[in-house]
Amino acid sequence: MHSYLFERGKRLYLNSLSSTNDIADWLIEGEAKVSFEENRLQLENKLDPSVHGDNSHWVFWCPINFPDKVIIEWEFYPIREPGLCMLFFAATGRNGEDLFSPKLPKRNGRYPEYHSGAINTLHLSYFRHKHADERAFRTCNLRKSYGFHLAAIGADPLPPVEDAIPPYKMKLIKYEGIVQFTINQLPVLEWVDDGTEYGSILSGGKIGFRQMAPMKAAYRNFQVHEAILSKLNKLK
């Protein structure tokens, strides 16, 4: 059980991710195949990882700048593994620039550009099935960057693709220094940033999906609401 309870406030963004028009203003860094099947956004690598290595991975950004104190939700459908799925959030330039500012170096999907480059962000790995050791002991990992700091680890309840019964309902809450993550209402991890050990507490910014090749997955019903600290916290 999580230590803090939150409620949905005003809806800030809703995208069914069901057609090309829904992602017309989204931005891909790196190269990916984008398609739609059964009214769901399907994403996979365009480049062969056996040839292109880390250059075959990519990030797909929602163009909106979101404030702090948000509830982020989406439906997740794993289709093909091995691979890894991740969500970046609260992403900005390290000096407060907009993530897409021309002042920042161009990014091409290579992971070091995001954890040790010119941006600050939180990133949650929630389907870590790429390497043998990740599949043998499955966890969800929350990191804070700049700096690639491992902030929290939780057990990953998601099964291999052959056993999956999607959609899996993912919910990520970012409220000042508090980060919570649940899958199908099951609490997976919670972390409270002290604003000291890994630098200042991050605030608002952009949200993006990342996959590591050869992962193929589908997404639907991406939405963001204001997060309101529940009055029930005072009764606990």
Q: How many CB atoms lie within 10 A of CB 47?
A: 19
User: Mean pLDDT across the stretch 13-30?
Assistant: 98
Residue ranges making up the domain that contains 49: 6-235
CATH number, domain of 123, equals: 2.60.120.200
Q: State the DSSP string of 71-130.
A: EEEEEEEEEE-S-EEEEEEEEEETTS--TT-TTSPP--S-THHHHTTSEEEEEEEEEE-S
- The tens digit of pLDDT for each residue in 175-211 reads 999 999 999 999 999 999 999 999 999 999 999 999 9
Enumerate residues 6+ apart whose C-beta is below 8 A from 95: none
What pLDDT sits at residue 62? 98
Q: Is the pLDDT of residue 235 over 60?
A: no
pLDDT bracket for residue 25 (50, 70, 90):
very high
Number of domains in the chain: 1
Q: Is the pLDDT of residue 236 over 60?
A: no
The Cα–Cα gap between 47 and 77 comes to: 21
Instruction: Phi first, then psi: give them for residue 65, nearest 5 degrees.
Output: -90, 115
pTM of the model: 0.96
The Cα–Cα gap between 59 and 212 comes to: 9
Q: Is the pLDDT of residue 234 over 80?
A: no
Q: Does the residue 203 lie in any domain?
A: yes
No. of H helices and E strands in the chain?
Answer: 3, 15
What pLDDT sits at residue 232? 74
- The tens digit of pLDDT for each residue in 125-163 reads 999 999 899 999 999 999 999 999 999 999 999 999 999
Using an 8 Å Cβ cutoff, are 63 and 26 in contact?
yes
Using an 8 Å Cβ cutoff, are 56 and 48 in contact?
yes
Q: Does the residue 223 lie in any domain?
A: yes
Q: Does the residue 1 lie in any domain?
A: no
